[in-house]
């Protein structure tokens, strides 16, 4: 191998290493939530009653490693603010969420739609 070829190889290796150090990529891969083995199943109240309090309770009870299950074929009525603060929770989202619209004079509703498996 000639000196010129070795120089090119060395320069391209150094540039590649410099580029990789400057642009490390999107970061570490996400990890699965921790598992405590606890499962919290939410059964809707029915009759168009607000299910938010019991959904929030399930998130609180199963926070840090549990699983919250929203049952398949059931409708959950969301009539008040649902803003859980959770860490390491698996959500088995199988039910349908029906969100009531806010009345005139109330703050606007911001919704982020999610679809379960």
Beta bridge partners of 67: 39, 90
CA 93, distance to chain mean position in Å, is 11
pLDDT in tens, the chain (117 residues): 565 555 565 555 555 555 555 555 666 766 677 788 899 999 999 998 999 999 999 999 999 999 999 999 999 999 988 888 888 899 998 988 888 765 555 555 555 544 444
Q: Where are the domains of the chain?
A: 39-99
- Name the pairing type of β-strands 75-78 and 90-93: unpaired
Q: Nearest 5°: phi and psi at 61?
A: -65, -35
Sign of the CA dihedral 99, 70, 38, 45? Answer: positive
pTM over 0.75: no
Structure tokens at 15: 């540039």
């Amino acid at each position: 191998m000639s000196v010129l070829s070795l120089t090119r190889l060395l320069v391209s290796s150094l540039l590649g290493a410099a580029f990789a150090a400057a642009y490390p990529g999107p970061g570490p891969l996400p990890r699965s939530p921790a598992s405590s083995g606890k499962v919290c199943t939410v059964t809707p109240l029915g009759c168009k009653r607000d299910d938010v309090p019991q959904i929030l309770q399930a998130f609180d009870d199963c926070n840090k490693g549990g699983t919250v299950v929203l049952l398949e074929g059931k409708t959950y009525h969301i009539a008040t603010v649902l803003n859980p603060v959770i860490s390491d929770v698996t959500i088995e989202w199988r039910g349908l969420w029906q969100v009531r619209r806010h009345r005139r004079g109330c703050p606007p509703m911001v919704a982020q739609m999610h679809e379960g498996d």
